[in-house]
Amino acid sequence: MKITASQRRIMVLLVCGWILMTIVRQTNHLLAPSGLSIWIGGLLITLAALHLNPKTGFVGCFLMGLMMDAWSPLGFGTHALLFGAAQIIIVRIRNRFASQELTIGITVALITNLILFVLITFIAVGRSSGGTISGVRILSDLVLSQVLLALITPWFFALQHRAFDLVINPHFSHPRSNV
């Protein structure tokens, strides 16, 4: 059975997404004593929504949402549904701006992350059983998440682009490898 280029792209999205999710989970573990956490789910779907064909991007985003759901205390499928919906919306409007520009990618990631953070917060608050959640805590987590997302988006896009190059063009040689 031959793996198509579309399936390879989905695998790249999932592996890069898993790497980012693992780094975020470890960072949250380190931040836990200070009462802070980060959430950068908007970054997971941005490149797929801006640069891949709609079907491949949707499958990749939906599967990344399922990976997030596996680690989440929310109902299984919550992240998958939100990631899929966000990807569809971004695909519908991506022709209206220069999606190849890094600043546009960062802006889309920030806006997507903000919207998803707010939606997931409302879902989590709605499911909580009477426990109080501090507005200051939510705001500080959001600000920290957005600042970190803006800083790491160029690195994550570069990681994904390089992984696409390696997987889609396996005979690609690095310019310095001609030794």
The range of the structural domain enclosing residue 160 comes to 5-165
156/73: higher pLDDT:
156
- Quick check: is 124 in a domain? yes
- Quick check: is 35 in a domain? yes
pLDDT at 148 over 80: yes
- Quick check: is 114 in a domain? yes
- Quick check: is 111 in a domain? yes
Buried b or exposed e, range 64-103, using 16+ CB within 10 angstroms: bbbbbbeeeeeeeebbbebbbbbbeebbeebeeeebeeee
pLDDT at 176 over 50: no
Condensed to tens digits (0 to 9), the pLDDT of residues 125-143 reads: 776 665 666 778 889 999 9
Report the pLDDT value the prediction gives residue 161, as an integer from 0 to 100: 92
Report the pLDDT value the prediction gives residue 2, as an integer from 0 to 100: 84
CA–chain centroid gap for 7, Å, is 18
- Quick check: is 176 in a domain? no
Cα distance between residue 35 and residue 23, in whole Å: 18
Report the pLDDT value the prediction gives residue 154, as an integer from 0 to 100: 96
Condensed to tens digits (0 to 9), the pLDDT of residues 68-122 reads: 988 887 888 899 999 999 999 999 999 898 888 899 999 999 999 999 999 998 8
149/77: higher pLDDT:
149
Q: pLDDT band at 179, cuts 50/70/90? A: very low
Report the pLDDT value the prediction gives residue 57, as an integer from 0 to 100: 92
- Quick check: is 175 in a domain? no
169: number of CA atoms within 13 Å, CB side? Answer: 7
Most distant pair of Cα atoms in the chain: their distance: 65
Cα distance between residue 80 and residue 60, in whole Å: 10
Residues 80, 84, 90, 91: is their CA dihedral positive or negative?
positive
Q: pLDDT band at 18, cuts 50/70/90? A: very high
pLDDT over 90, % of the chain = 64
- Quick check: is 143 in a domain? yes
> Which pTM value belongs to this model?
0.86
Mean pLDDT of the chain: 88
Picking from 130, 131, 133, 145, the residue whose alpha carbon sits closest to that of residue 41 is 145
- Quick check: is 178 in a domain? no
If one counts the domains in the chain, the total is 1
